[in-house]
C-alpha cells in the first residue's frame, strides 16, 4: 500500500535544495519504499530562497517565517537546513510538534545545544536523521564490513582528515560560518564532525583527545550581498580596496587532534577549511594487525586494501565500488560506474523515510550527533587546557 508524506523545509540553500531533490529521487532508486512525498511548504527569509522553493523545487508555497512550516498539519517530516544558529530552536519545535526530523550537522553550536535536542527527541521518540552523509559511501560501508569480518585484524591505528579550500581566499566574505553566534565552532563543527563520525563508525568510540586549533585568516571583508560558502583561491573573488570594512574571524580555520579509542587503537585527526591544494579531501587510513584500508572522498569510488597474507606481492590493492558494497546496487548495475555526492543524500533520505514508515530508529540520528559533539567539545577544551581531555 502506498503512503504519502508531507515535507516541510527550513532553509532553501545548498542543503535545503539537496534534501528536497533526494526525497524526490526516492521512487527512482527505492521503488520498494512505496512512499511518495508531497512538497508542502518551505521557509526562507530571503525572497530568492522562497522563489527557488516554489519555482525550482516544486513546493506548493513558501513562507518567510519557519514556524508556519512546523505548524502546518499536512507536514509530517521537516528538513532543518538553515545556518547552524537556528538548528536548536527549529529542531526542538519539530520534535514538540511530533514530526520526523532531518537535521543537518552540526545539530547544535556545541555540546549543550546538541544534548538538549537529543534529549527532547529521545523523550518524544522522534524519528531523526542527521547529515553524516559520508557514512553512506558504498566503500565506507564495505570498509566497515571488512573490519567486522576481521580482514585487517585487530585495529591499531587511525588517521582521518577533512582538508578543504572553501575559505582559502582571504577576500571571501565574513559570512555566518566565521562567527561564534552564527556557527559555534568553525572547522571543528563543520568538518571535524564528519571525521569523528567516520572514526567512530570504523574504529569505535573515542575515549580522550589532545588537540590544537588555529585561525589562518584572522579578518575578512564584511559581507555585502549574498552569503557565498565557497571562496577558493582559484574562484573569481575580486580583491577589495584598502578601505573595505573587515571583521574578525571568531572560530578556528584548522584543528589537529591526537585521539585514543576505547578499544585500544590510537589516531590522528586533522581538518582545515582554508587549505590551498586539497578541494574536498575527506579521507581515512585504518591500520590493523593484518592489513590496512585507505580511502579519500576526492576518489570516492575506490579504496586501497592492504593484506599482509599475500606474500611476495605486498602492496595496496585498488578496490572499486560495485554492487554488494553498501547501497551501490540501488544506483548502478555494474562495478566502477561512479556514484556522486548527491547520491549519498538519496541513501540518507531512504533510510529516514523507511524509519518513518516503519516507526523504527534511523541511524545515524541524534545519539550519533551527540557522540560527535562530545568529541568536538573535548577538542575545544583541550585546545584551551593544552592537555589530554576525556570525551563525554
Ligand X SMILES: NC(=O)c1ccc[n+]([C@@H]2O[C@H](COP(=O)([O-])OP(=O)(O)OC[C@H]3O[C@@H](n4cnc5c(N)ncnc54)[C@H](O)[C@@H]3O)[C@@H](O)[C@H]2O)c1
Q: Does 51 bind ligand X (CB under 6 A)?
A: no
Strand partners, 43: 10, 63
Site for ligand X in 298-327 (CB under 6 A): none
| CB hemisphere CA count around 241 (13 angstroms) | 2
- Residue 216, exposed/middle/buried by CB under 10 A (0-12, 13-18, 19+)? middle
The residue among 152 and 274 lying less far from ligand X, judged by its C-beta, is 274
Stretch that binds ligand X, among 8-16, 21-29, 153-161, 306-314 (CB under 6 A): 8-16
Q: Does 13 bind ligand X (CB under 6 A)?
A: yes
Is the CB of residue 186 less than 8 Å from the CB of residue 253?
A: yes
Task: Write down how long the chain is.
Answer: 392
Cα distances (angstroms) measured from residue 139 to each of 105, 109, 193, 336: 22, 30, 20, 11
Binding mask 84-123 for ligand X (x = CB under 6 A): x-x-----------------xx------------------
Cα distances (angstroms) measured from residue 387 to each of 47, 200, 362, 381, 383: 48, 22, 36, 9, 8
Alpha-carbon gap, residue 366 to 352, rounded angstroms? 12
The residue among 60 and 89 lying less far from ligand X, judged by its C-beta, is 89
Report, in Å, the least distance between residue 312 CB and ligand X: 42
Report, in Å, the least distance between residue 66 CB and ligand X: 4
Q: Does 14 bind ligand X (CB under 6 A)?
A: yes
Strand partners, 212: 256
- CB within 8 A of 384, min separation 6: which ones? none
Is the CB of residue 233 less than 8 Å from the CB of residue 269?
A: no
The residue among 82 and 203 lying less far from ligand X, judged by its C-beta, is 82
Q: Does 15 bind ligand X (CB under 6 A)?
A: yes
Is the preceding omega at residue 340 within 30 degrees of 0, hence cis? Answer: no
Alpha-carbon gap, residue 373 to 200, rounded angstroms? 12
Site for ligand X in 67-86 (CB under 6 A): 81-84, 86
Interface residue with ligand X, options 21, 24, 27, 46 (CB under 6 A): 46
Give the binding-site size for ligand X (rule: CB under 6 A): 25
Stretch that binds ligand X, among 45-53, 108-116, 367-375, 376-384 (CB under 6 A): 45-53
Stretch that binds ligand X, among 40-48, 158-166, 269-277, 318-326 (CB under 6 A): 40-48
Q: At 3, list the grid cell.
A: 503512503
Binding mask 165-194 for ligand X (x = CB under 6 A): -------------------------x----
Q: What residue number has its CB nearest to ligand X?
A: 13
Q: Does 44 bind ligand X (CB under 6 A)?
A: yes
In 3D, which of 22, 6, 97 has the Cα closest to residue 60? 6
Is the CB of residue 111 less than 8 Å from the CB of residue 336?
A: no
The residue among 261 and 331 lying less far from ligand X, judged by its C-beta, is 331
Report, in Å, the least distance between residue 173 CB and ligand X: 12
Report, in Å, the least distance between residue 27 CB and ligand X: 23
The residue among 22 and 126 lying less far from ligand X, judged by its C-beta, is 22
Stretch that binds ligand X, among 37-45, 248-256, 261-269, 272-280 (CB under 6 A): 37-45
Report, in Å, the least distance between residue 367 CB and ligand X: 17
Strands laid side by side in the 302-307 sheet: 317-320, 302-307, 291-296, 280-288, 155-164, 266-272, 254-261, 206-214, 389-390
The residue among 29 and 52 lying less far from ligand X, judged by its C-beta, is 52
Report, in Å, the least distance between residue 388 CB and ligand X: 28
The residue among 55 and 227 lying less far from ligand X, judged by its C-beta, is 227
Report, in Å, the least distance between residue 45 CB and ligand X: 5
Stretch that binds ligand X, among 4-12, 93-101, 245-253, 271-279 (CB under 6 A): 4-12
* b/e map 217-241, b = 16+ CB within 10 Å: beebbeeeeeeeeebbeeeebeeee
Report, in Å, the least distance between residue 336 CB and ligand X: 24
- DSSP symbol at 191: I
Which residues are at the interface with ligand X (CB under 6 A)?
10-16, 43-46, 49, 66, 81-84, 86, 104-105, 131, 133, 190, 227, 229
Amino acid at each position: 500500500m502506498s503512503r504519502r508524506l508531507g515535507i516541510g523545509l527550513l532553509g532553501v540553500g545548498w542543503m535545503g535544495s539537496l534534501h528536497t531533490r533526494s526525497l524526490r529521487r526516492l521512487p527512482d532508486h527505492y521503488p520498494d519504499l512505496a512512499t511518495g512525498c508531497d512538497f508542502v511548504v518551505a521557509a526562507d527569509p530571503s525572497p530568492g530562497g522562497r522563489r527557488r522553493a516554489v519555482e525550482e523545487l516544486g513546493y506548493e508555497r513558501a513562507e518567510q517565517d519557519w514556524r508556519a512550516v512546523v505548524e502546518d498539519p499536512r507536514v509530517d517530516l521537516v528538513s532543518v537546513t538553515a545556518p547552524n544558529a537556528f538548528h536548536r530552536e527549529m529542531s526542538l519545535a519539530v520534535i514538540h510538534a511530533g514530526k520526523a526530523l532531518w537535521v543537518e550537522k552540526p545539530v547544535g553550536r556545541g555540546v549543550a545545544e546538541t544534548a538538549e535536542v537529543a534529549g527532547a527527541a529521545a523523550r518524544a521518540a522522534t524519528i531523526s536523521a542527521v547529515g553524516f552523509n559520508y557514512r553512506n559511501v558504498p566503500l565506507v560501508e564495505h570498509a566497515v564490513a571488512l573490519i567486522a569480518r576481521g580482514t585487517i585484524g585487530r585495529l591499531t591505528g587511525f588517521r582521518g582528515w577533512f582538508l578543504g579550500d572553501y575559505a582559502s581566499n582571504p577576500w571571501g566574505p565574513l559570512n555566518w560560518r566565521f562567527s561564534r553566534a552564527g556557527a559555534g565552532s568553525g572547522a571543528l563543527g563543520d568538518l571535524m564532525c564528519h571525521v569523528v563520525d567516520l572514526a567512530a563508525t570504523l574504529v569505535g568510540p573515542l575515549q580522550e583527545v589532545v588537540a590544537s586549533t588555529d585561525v589562518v585568516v584572522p579578518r575578512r571583508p564584511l559581507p555585502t550581498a549574498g552569503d557565498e560558502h565557497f571562496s577558493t583561491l582559484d574562484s573569481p573573488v575580486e580583491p577589495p580596496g584598502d578601505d573595505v570594512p573587515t571583521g574578525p574571524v571568531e572560530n578556528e580555520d584548522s584543528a589537529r587532534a591526537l585521539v585514543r579509542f576505547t578499544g585500544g587503537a590510537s589516531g590522528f585527526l586533522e581538518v582545515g577549511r582554508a587549505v590551498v591544494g586539497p578541494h574536498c579531501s575527506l579521507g581515512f587510513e585504518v591500520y590493523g594487525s593484518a592489513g590496512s584500508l585507505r580511502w579519500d572522498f576526492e576518489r570516492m569510488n575506490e579504496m586501497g586494501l592492504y593484506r599482509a597474507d599475500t606474500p611476495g606481492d605486498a602492496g595496496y590493492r585498488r578496490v572499486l565500488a560495485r554492487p554488494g558494497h553498501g547501497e551501490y546496487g540501488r544506483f548502478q548495475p555494474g562495478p566502477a560506474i561512479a556514484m556522486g555526492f548527491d547520491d549519498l543524500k538519496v541513501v540518507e533520505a531512504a533510510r529516514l523515510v523507511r524509519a518513518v514508515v516503519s516507526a523504527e530508529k534511523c541511524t545515524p540520528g541524534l545519539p550519533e550527533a551527540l557522540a560527535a559533539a562530545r568529541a568536538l567539545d573535548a577538542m575545544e577544551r583541550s585546545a584551551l587546557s593544552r592537555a589530554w581531555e576525556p570525551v563525554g
